[in-house]
Copies of this chain bind each other. A is one copy, B any other.
């Protein structure tokens, strides 16, 4: 029904799934890649870099913010976005913890 039975899963399972959901769109990957190329948290006009309307980009940024992957600080009339350092490393650790559980193949 397009609805996920969240109550049946553990908190870590839900957290990992939610994080991956935030990364599960090429526009959001592109936004993060763009932020990664910036030395610092420059709020570039993403509409020049990614072919989407301003409101659509704003929504994607919100998803990334909700997932904790980026930080947005108001700076006058514009907004400065950057990778959320602590959370970024935490997420990487979480993913590695998940993938490291696989030791040896059988097949």
- Interface residues, chain A, CB within 8 Å of chain B? 4-6, 8-10, 13-14, 16-18, 20-21, 23-30, 32-33, 36, 39-41, 50-52, 71, 73, 82-83, 85, 88-89, 91-92, 95-96, 98-102, 104-107
Known A-B contacts A33-B13, A83-B102; A5 and B91 likewise in contact (beta carbons under 8 Å):
no
Known A-B contacts A24-B21, A91-B99; A16 and B29 likewise in contact (beta carbons under 8 Å):
yes
Chain copies in complex: 2
Question: Which residues on B sit within 8 Å (CB–CB) of A104?
Answer: 85
Question: Which residues on B sit within 8 Å (CB–CB) of A51?
Answer: 5, 8
Distance in Å: Cβ of A22 to nearest Cβ of chain B? 8
Q: Is the CB of A29 within 8 A of B13?
A: yes
Question: Which residues on B sit within 8 Å (CB–CB) of A4?
Answer: 25-27
